[in-house]
Every structure is written in C-alpha cells, then in structure tokens.
Amino acid sequence: MRITARGIGTGLIPHQAAGFQIDFDFIDHCLLLHVIDGRTVRLPLQPQPTSKFYRDVMSSLSSLDVPVKIRTMPNELPEPIPFDRDETHRAYDAEYANRYWRVLVQAQRVFEEFRARFIGKSSP
C-alpha cells in the first residue's frame, strides 16, 4: 500500500508482459483500475454488498485483460465470509474513508521525518 495525493494505491503490479495499478481515491470516492496501455476503469466507492463490489472489481480487471485470481476468504476476522458471497457487509462512509486517509498522510509524514536521518539503506 502506498499513500497517494488522493488516497491509497498499490503502485505498479507486474502482470504477464504488462502491469496494472489499483488506486482508492478518497476525495472523489472511487476505485481506479489502470493498465500501462492507458486504459482505466472507474468504480464508485459507495454503500453496496461486498459481493457486488468484488464482482465489479474482478469483472473490470478482466475487461482490462488483467485476469487475476485472489483468495476470497478474508484473513484475521473472527467469522470471515468469502468476498464473493458476502451480502452482509455493505457500509461505505465517505467522510470516514477520507479521515482514515488523512490520518495515514500524517503518519507517513512522521515516518519520513525519522527515515530521513537514517544513514543506512532504506527500502520503500
């Protein structure tokens, strides 16, 4: 995960002979799927069942010629529901998503401050 000027993103993910990137935009509240040939799909971040969001993301990636397989079972939850079958969780609060991102921005500033004085090797 990388903090961006508008939210959080993956950075470039190599895929077959190309690559793609996924960005959560917490200002316009959308998910952006980019491939290196310039094509982009924009999905709204809004209240909806997790299963619908999952289907939309996977379908969009497929339409961009980026078929991927992911493990659908969430980790570290007491009673996990596979993403593709989760009709229970459907909340999206734009204000709190934006607040979360702003907290991450401030935390990154602190980490960068202390990292700047480190003389040894530092990975991204």
Every domain of the chain and the residues it spans: 2-116
The reported pLDDT for the residue numbered 112 is 76
Q: What mean pLDDT do residues 98-111 have?
A: 93
Query: Contact, 72 vs 55, CB < 8 A?
Result: no
Q: What mean pLDDT do residues 24-38 have?
A: 97
pTM of the model: 0.86
Whether residue 58 is predicted with pLDDT greater than 80 in this model: the reply is yes
Q: Would you tell me how many other CB atoms lie within 10 Å of the CB of residue 43? A: 15
